[in-house]
Chain A
Amino acid sequence: MATIASLKDDTFLAIDDPPPARRRRLPFSPWHLVLAPVAVVMLVPLVWMVILSLETKSEAANFPPVLFPSGLHFGNYVTTWNSVPFGDFFLNSLAYSAATVAGNLLFCSLAAYAFARLKFFGRDVLFVVLLATLMVPYQVLLIPTFLIVKDIGMVNSVGGLIMPNLCSAFGIFMLRQFFRTLPVELEEAARIDGTSRLGILFKIVLPLSLPALATLAIIQFMWSWNDFLWPLIIINSATRDPLQLGLATLQGAHYTEWNLLMAGTVMSQIPMLAVFLIAQRWFIRSIAFTGMK
């Protein structure tokens, strides 16, 4: 509109402009209105679990549920610990989870690197087939897997428990996607510097992939730690039971002491929290890392 652009004109324009409409701002992001109810829905079972674990036997069995117990009965935890070989369950679970996490980190990264960087015949087709296996429900795989393990003669053994879970299609997929984001020049430089393919994976690629590895470790740990179905099928001696099977023994056919069961469940969740807290800084960095060259 102004034919001669001058500083003066601009200032007048600025003054004449109506002030920007001042909107009433919420003290929080509008998204919170959606997120907060969802968070409540997620939290209720957890909170209830903790409440139940602190109630008396009759309060826990009461209907309608008692939301504010008469007292905090921490003794439930001691009772649970002593009534079943909780320590053994715990160690069994730890061994199972640690072994599958280690196996996944190793085998998935080997396969993922091959899919990400090596050129071989049928690579992409094979990868699609691998992804397709993610669609097959676990229940469908359960029986064939059991039959294979039985044929090898590993039923009711720690090996039979661990072996089928040492590598996962999901882990391969996740790591492959991450490996492909790493600058290929780093690997070329390493090749020229005299590093073998395996050396490149272990000395260059994996140290740069800690965020992805941490993520996979958490996911796998969670999965193994909470796994119920596979141990249930393959293990049939109480001494080898992992925690989730052990907890099930607290559940009677006719009567369940809910307060004790919940106390056991709360205890069983502590390691997962710990793993999450430890791996969290890598977990979060995996997003920050994408902005870096």
Chain B
Amino acid sequence: MPSVSFESVTKRFENGATAVDDLSLEIHDGEFMILVGSSGCGKTTALRMIAGLERPTRGAIRIGEQVVNEVSAKDRDIAMVFQNYALYPHMSVARNLGYPLRQRRVARAEVDRRVSEVAKMLGLDELLKRRPAQLSGGQRQRVAMGRALVREPEVFLLDEPLSNLDAKLRVQMRAELKRLHARLGITTIYVTHDQVEAMTLGHRIAVMSEGRLQQIGAPQAVYDTPRNVFVAGFIGSPPMNLLRGRVHQGHVRAGDLELECAAPDGEVIVGLRPEALKRIGAEGPGLELEVAVVEPMGDEVIVHGRIAAELAARPAEAAVRSSDEPLLLADEEESTAMIARLDPQDRPQEGSSVRLGIDPAAVHLFDAGTGERIETRRSEPVYAATKEQ
């Protein structure tokens, strides 16, 4: 199995939109790589360039050692599963599965053998005579997978293959995909905007935004140390809470929250994962959360609320304003939406307020100007404290 690499690849469309901007990325031999990002971030365009459906404006794409920019789609040894499956409606399942082989003039006996092999692997044996219109969503998805696998391609491309399935089937197919990859070891590139797929499926994930690669790494590593505010907000569900704050002489302050940190002075964005918040008693340092909505999930409770997050710089800003000018941003500045993930026994009442303590190891700091991560020395004692202390 070959590796796949992007070398400073840029794709600009005729209408001037830049879909992929200077992307450099190497997908190793046999790796399961996830391209993740919100819609329009260029992940699908990147995938289509590997497939040969789009031509890069600049840069090179390699499959193995070969630069494939000028190689047509049919001559790259790749297979792709489309979001809407793209099964040929006028062919039976068997003919759909065998199509890529017939196009490559594989002998009929061999086509039949491999079609039945793939059909057995994906549980499609009973459906071989049906047309795509007679299949359920999950079955169509499996046929699309089968059509891609039957050729035993060198690179396997998947464009949001599970997004049209219902939740239960998605969980099932996710596990199946993982099993298939473990068994076949094909270099796989998987595009998704789904958090869970991104975290669970791949060896590494590449987070993209506005055509640029934001971060690449093992899912857990990306989750634990997001490189910038975008990644921090994007990876993780519910998303990380991001508060505006300020570092002053080794202390970061965001509203009520004050923490010791080893970051240089300046405006920062403080990131707190919902699970870093724990309910604590009235005593001890913590944050006051006004509970708005409680979502019991069974094993956990997602609590949406607001905290008083007055900005350190606010008094100065307020002084500049003339008295009759309405404080348009007052609401946003005086309180900030916050999501916490609590144990079911800690479930608060809607409309009440709870005190939340913070796991100090889980505080992330980002530069307010650039959005880049600020490394804080974790060995230093970091603690949560109220402003009064």
- A residues contacting B by CB (< 8 A) are 183, 185-186, 188-196, 199, 204, 207-208, 292-293
- Nearest opposing residue in chain A for B133, CB measure: A292
- Nearest opposing residue in chain B for A196, CB measure: B74
Besides A194-B103, A195-B103, A292-B133, 10 other A-B contacts (C-beta < 8 A):
A183-B86, A185-B84, A186-B88, A188-B51, A188-B80, A191-B74, A192-B53, A193-B151, A207-B90, A208-B89
Residues of A within 8 A of B84 (CB): 183, 185, 293
The answer for the CA separation of A195 and B88 in the assembled complex, in Å, is 13
The listed residue (B53, B89, B90) touching A191 by CB distance below 8 A is B53
The answer for the CA separation of A82 and B117 in the assembled complex, in Å, is 66
B82 touches A193 (CB 8 A): no
Q: Does B383 contact A (CB under 8 A)?
A: no
Q: Does B79 contact A (CB under 8 A)?
A: yes
Q: How many residues of B contact A (CB 8 A)?
A: 22
Residues of B within 8 A of A185 (CB): 82, 84, 86
A193 touches B89 (CB 8 A): no
18 A-B contacts (beta carbon < 8 Å)? A185-B82, A188-B53, A188-B80, A188-B82, A188-B86, A191-B74, A192-B74, A193-B79, A193-B100, A193-B103, A194-B74, A194-B100, A195-B74, A196-B74, A199-B103, A207-B90, A208-B90, A292-B89
The answer for the CA separation of A199 and B99 in the assembled complex, in Å, is 12
The answer for the CA separation of A59 and B104 in the assembled complex, in Å, is 71
- B residues contacting A by CB (< 8 A) are 51-53, 72-74, 78-80, 82, 84, 86, 88-90, 99-100, 103-104, 133, 147, 151
The answer for the CA separation of A185 and B86 in the assembled complex, in Å, is 6
Shortest distance between the CB of B146 and any CB in chain A (Å): 12
Residues of B within 8 A of A183 (CB): 84, 86
User: Known interface pairs A183-B84, A199-B103. Does A192 touch B89 (Cβ–Cβ under 8 Å)?
Assistant: no
Residues of A within 8 A of B100 (CB): 192-194
- Nearest opposing residue in chain A for B80, CB measure: A192
Residues of B within 8 A of A196 (CB): 74
B74 touches A189 (CB 8 A): no
- Nearest opposing residue in chain A for B76, CB measure: A192
